[in-house]
Amino acid sequence: MSAPTLDRVKVDTGTEELIAEREGDILILTFNRPERMNAISGPMLGAFSRILTEANRDNSVRVVILTGRGRGFCAGLDLVDSGPGARAGRSPQAQQLFDLAGSPPVVLYNMDKPVICALNGAAAGYGMDLALLCDIRIAGEGGRLAAVTAKRNLLPESGGSWLLPRLVGWGKAAEMFFRAQTLNAQQCKEAGLVNEVVPDDQLLETSLAWAREIAANAPLAVQATKRMMRLGLKEDYETTVDHLMVHLKVLFGMEDFVEGVAAFQEKRTPQFTGR
């Protein structure tokens, strides 16, 4: 039996272009520019980073779902509104060192809270990078990943060239980027880029069902596991095992460890509190 749907509470993001809702311990973030295929505007960038940062610090948030409204997940950065010369008459920006600290891709990469991408349509460029930065991707039948930056004389600037080879291997990543391919949902699943494909009208509910399963587990164990997976990408085996033991010692001393053992012995569902 599936868990009952809780009332959703809207969270203020400071812009209607990004909708945030809480359903219990799950945060649902929805890109809300359907008329522009959810291309990311300037106001969305700041709000997205802020909400993700707050969610990562909020002990009451256990899982984040990221999706888009309408026919597309995210068409990338809005080059019309944000590109060179978009605002006529503006003064030239002072030269400064390039800094991505605090940008949505970096914040998303460094999050310890698990993030599910509910891929409701096309994700291209920056939007594809955001989808790849999520831990789990569930695609609707209309979901697509478009590695088309070479058709725009652009790069996958938000880490796609780092992410994609690690997910599908060098050869497949090269094929997608160099040929500027768009993969449909089933092709994405065959390539290992999405975990599951479901009918479009079941996408959000399926994502919520997976999120509820994750949220029912000990939250700090889930978050520590994600952190160790992330750090393990650049550590050798012995270093990773050493770091794992440090985290494990902390988890052994928590109330949730006692609860997990008791629930196992009593053959009941554990009730974890994050303490």
Residue 1 inside a domain? The answer is no
- How is residue 72 written in tokens? 């597309």
Cα distances from 24 to residues 3, 4, 124, in angstroms, run 11, 11, 31
Residue 147 inside a domain? The answer is yes
> What integer pLDDT is reported at residue 29 of this predicted model?
98
Q: Does the structure show a pLDDT above 90 at 157? A: no
**Enclosing domain of residue 92:** 9-215
Over pLDDT 90: what percentage of the chain?
86
Do 202 and 66 fall within a single domain?
yes
Overall average pLDDT of the 7-36 stretch: 96
For 27, the 3-state DSSP assignment is strand
Do 109 and 224 fall within a single domain?
no
Q: Which residue in this structure is represented by tokens 């794992």?
A: 244
Overall average pLDDT of the 85-107 stretch: 65
> What integer pLDDT is reported at residue 84 of this predicted model?
46
Do 193 and 138 fall within a single domain?
yes
Q: Does the structure show a pLDDT above 50 at 111? A: yes
Do 203 and 228 fall within a single domain?
no
Do 139 and 92 fall within a single domain?
yes
Mean pLDDT of the chain: 92
Do 34 and 97 fall within a single domain?
yes
> What integer pLDDT is reported at residue 16 of this predicted model?
96
Q: Of 58, 223, 204, 90, whose CA–CA distance to 139 is shortest?
A: 204
CATH number at residue 112: 3.90.226.10
Q: Does the structure show a pLDDT above 60 at 160? A: yes
Do 94 and 191 fall within a single domain?
yes
Residue 196 inside a domain? The answer is yes
Residue 201 inside a domain? The answer is yes
Q: Dump pLDDT digits (tens) for 35-91.
A: 999 999 999 999 999 999 999 999 999 999 999 999 999 999 986 655 444 444 444
Residue 271 inside a domain? The answer is no
Do 205 and 190 fall within a single domain?
yes
Residue 48 inside a domain? The answer is yes
Q: Which residue in this structure is represented by tokens 């812009």?
A: 15
- How is residue 38 written in tokens? 């959810």
181 close to 147: Cβ distance less than 8 angstroms:
yes
Do 254 and 146 fall within a single domain?
no
Do 159 and 246 fall within a single domain?
no
Overall average pLDDT of the 137-160 stretch: 94
Boundary-marking domain end, from 181, 197, 215:
215
Q: Does the structure show a pLDDT above 90 at 216? A: yes
Do 192 and 252 fall within a single domain?
no
Q: How many structural domains does the chain have?
A: 2
Residue 4 inside a domain? The answer is no
Do 78 and 208 fall within a single domain?
yes
Residue 105 inside a domain? The answer is yes
Q: Where would I find the H helices in the chain? A: 42-57, 79-82, 104-109, 126-133, 160-168, 170-178, 185-191, 203-215, 219-232, 237-252, 255-265
| pLDDT band (50, 70, 90) for residue 185 | very high
> What integer pLDDT is reported at residue 91 of this predicted model?
47
> What integer pLDDT is reported at residue 93 of this predicted model?
53
CATH number at residue 237: 1.10.12
